[in-house]
Chains A and B, each alone.
Chain A
């Protein structure tokens, strides 16, 4: 499959996984990501690859664990309540230093919530989410094109750092259709995985484990994990800047909210309000330096998110009190560009929000 096509976000992400050389898909039905599994159910067997509909999210993520332990590229997709269940497996994957890709097409929460767009899983994704001291790489697409591109990229990053890479989308991004340009060149093959379980013919047996009972062994293992995370924090922050150089108010938003904010920047500038936007593409590692740099010349920062100030915490940490940070938080509702402009104007007037 190549050229330009019209696709829904869920299917684009699935095709991104296929083209990146994903060997196995495991998942359990949940709205609003069902098109992902349906796409893989057809496409993976066609290519002689593995598709299993699991009996639960717990099972699906443990199948990802297994396939990855065997040295293969594996993915699971779900939405918020389902991703909560996957946290057990993600913790084991982190501890066992296994590459894995998890796509979360977020819906409203907490609990069963609704099936509309939300960004309420920011903390869950960027803070580890399961038990123990670990991180996952978190990629935030903002278009159907990026659903494809970043899902493919997630495999490369997961393999490079031997950790879980989460694609954090939302119901809008999963459901909406946009043109998608498919790459002409195939993706590079995965790196060699000498640690994988292949059967011990010709070498010593290997074990993929997360239990470290020896004296001091677990602490050393945790230090090793954090060396990896430090490297990712140095090399992997990604973001997009829109008119941020001369902005009086810098908007910070990801995913669907970033699309609204892009519109708000244009609308604001028509009204004489100099807005700019920093759109984090990686939520972990967070592009703190880019935000600090853009904010240095601005009077304030407005964080726009479909949650009540989850990413705003990271922005405040990035700025360390140097600029005021306001929040436009709409849990489980997409804010409008006009609303963003009004909030930014209010911030400039110093009336607070």
Chain B
């Protein structure tokens, strides 16, 4: 009998440390499925962020490292430079990628380093207990915006895909969401394209996931999915911001 659904080889049998309703588990699974399907597990090297996903190496059966906070893309870019035969990815949260690592994010993208960046945007710092992230929504309450994020006081939510799309270096930039099964299937297509941009085009790719954090949004998992669909996508519109295929066409 052919199984319809099973654990990808790239995913370990390990109890998750992620909270109920968290998006990281979904992104891990999508990565694992695509790595299996492309048959690249043996030559893939990943860099985990500092943040909730710092323990990604416990779940993904690939070689991984754990660079300093925000330096993630530069560490993995260097790995790719000295081992061009490997498939190199960084897995980063909003604090790692868009706050402490903003310079690294921009310059790796601008140099067009042939790596794949997976950016999990859940609009909050999870690991440290729910502080404001660069991507926190206006009016969103966090421990450091106790009465809600105020544009004049805290600044505006930062749109990473749009920012990177002003650069010439990236070959593929897309924002997807984890708010429904359809969206997740679409996110998997983007993960695949993110890896293929590196493998086939030797070029830079970034996939941003709008991802739920029910714990620090202080919502039920279901409400968190609705929040993505109804609120986050207004500020962070889904879509393709750079695509080497359409550029060439």
Which residues of A come within 8 Å of B, CB atoms?
23-24, 26, 50, 52, 54-56, 58-59, 62-67, 69-70, 72, 74, 88-89, 92, 96, 197-202, 205-211
Contacts and interface: CB of A to CB of B under 8 A. Distances in A.
Q: Which of B42, B47, B65, B107 has the most CB of A within 10 A?
A: B65
A58 B74 CA distance: 9
Interface of B: 41-45, 47, 54-55, 57, 60-68, 70-71, 74-79, 81-83, 85-86, 103-104, 106-107, 111
Given A200-B61, A208-B66, A67 B107 contact: no
B61 A67 contact: no
B67 A66 contact: yes
B62 A62 contact: no
A65 B75 contact: yes
Given A55-B104, A59-B104, A198-B86, A70 B68 contact: no
A59 B106 CA distance: 12
Contacts of B62: 199-200, 205
A200 B103 contact: no
A92 B82 contact: no
A210 B55 CA distance: 11
A24 B54 contact: no
Contacts of A198: 45, 63, 83, 86
25 contacts: A23-B82, A24-B81, A54-B74, A54-B107, A58-B71, A59-B103, A62-B67, A62-B104, A63-B77, A65-B68, A65-B75, A66-B65, A66-B67, A70-B79, A197-B63, A198-B63, A199-B45, A199-B83, A200-B42, A200-B61, A200-B62, A205-B60, A207-B65, A207-B66, A208-B64
B193 to A, nearest CB: 21
Contacts of A54: 74, 107
A77 B41 CA distance: 35
Q: Which 6 A-B pairs have the closest CB atoms?
A: A201-B42, A66-B78, A62-B71, A66-B75, A63-B78, A199-B43
B79 A197 contact: yes
Given A62-B78, A201-B42, A208-B66, 20 more contacts: A24-B82, A58-B104, A62-B68, A62-B71, A64-B78, A66-B77, A66-B82, A67-B82, A70-B79, A88-B68, A197-B83, A198-B45, A199-B44, A199-B63, A199-B86, A205-B57, A205-B61, A205-B63, A210-B66, A211-B66
Contacts of A58: 68, 70-71, 103-104
Nearest to B104: A59
A211 B52 CA distance: 12
Contacts of A67: 78-79, 81-82
Q: Which of A24, A26, A74, A207 has the most CB of B within 10 A?
A: A207
Contact of B67 (A52, A55, A74, A92): A92
A207 B57 contact: yes
Q: Which of A24, A66, A197 has the most CB of B within 10 A?
A: A66
Contacts of A72: 82-83
